[in-house]
Structure 1
């Protein structure tokens, strides 16, 4: 079988795209990133063709077959490239990871942080000693934390110290630090958008 052709339709500021980039890096999967350059909503033909229902990134193209929705993409990556699994091996561990994945994707941001800080407890990662599925789902959002702190008036370190320690541990991983957009770039982007829309 030949080498996989993997492309990621992405947008640099999207935490959902960052999730997929971290997962691909964790699996050592080479891919071509194709960036959507218009931040104001115009979509490329390739994106519309690849994700005609939602017309949004991320989209993983594996041998020209599109896989959409970031959580679904992570599951796909874990199944197609089984080395270094993202999900726990046991059924119970998988069910817990999928529960937290669904929770992260559906709940309000501050509720997520409060519950995840408590769930993390004294563990290094959400799966104990192993960086995995839930960590990857959440880590992309952390690039936005400094912007939330600057414009939202709260500090993760003060409110959620266990989560803050987890962020530091996670950013020490090369697969994370090289896959995420810098928090400074995100904060500048949010500032520019606030200025554009006249938000004080």
Structure 2
């Protein structure tokens, strides 16, 4: 569900984007609640949910910029988790820079006329 919702955050405008943003925020609320005070979604060990969700972190700057909201202010536990994940060499080497993702999306939106 979060994949489709986050895509609509950057591919829509106006009321559609606002609706997608609200839905995306609701998904993040569920994830933040599930994470709780654990280091990783599975507890002390980096696991499957972490592997699946951490790539979204590279897109956070783009979502925030294009949809005008702040993830860090509302979801500090997710941001702390993401920073902890980024300390893992395998994660840090695999994920693209947030600014490059934003630049890519910005150019894509221009080309698609979004």
- Give me the whole-angstrom Cα distance separating, in 1, the residues matched to 2:4 and 2:104: 24
Greater helix share, 1 or 2? Answer: 2
TM-score (norm 2): 0.76
Q: Which one of 27, 33, 48 corresponds to residue 118 of structure 1?
A: 33
The structure whose Rg is larger is 1
Q: Deviations over 1:86-108 (max 9, x none)?
A: xxxxxxxxxxxxxxxxx656775
Alignment gaps of 5+ in structure 1: 1-102
1:143 aligns with 2:58: yes
Once superposed, which parts of structure 1, at least 4 consecutive aligned residues long, lie more than 4 Å away?
A: 103-108
Larger RCO of the pair (alpha carbons < 8 Å, separation 6+): 2
1:129 aligns with 2:49: no
Residues 175 and 124 of structure 1: is their aligned pair in 2 closer, same or farther, counting only changes over 3 Å?
same
Q: What SS is found at the alignment partner of 2:39?
A: coil
**Total equivalences in the alignment:** 97
C-alpha contact 1:104 1:138 (8 A) present in aligned 2: no
Alignment gaps of 5+ in structure 2: 6-22
Q: In structure 1, what is the equivalent of residue 83 of structure 2?
A: 168
TM-score (norm 1): 0.45
- Give me the whole-angstrom Cα distance separating, in 1, the residues matched to 2:43 and 2:2: 18
Q: In structure 2, what is the equivalent of residue 179 of structure 1?
A: 94
Greater strand share, 1 or 2? Answer: 1
Residues 183 and 154 of structure 1: is their aligned pair in 2 closer, same or farther, counting only changes over 3 Å?
same
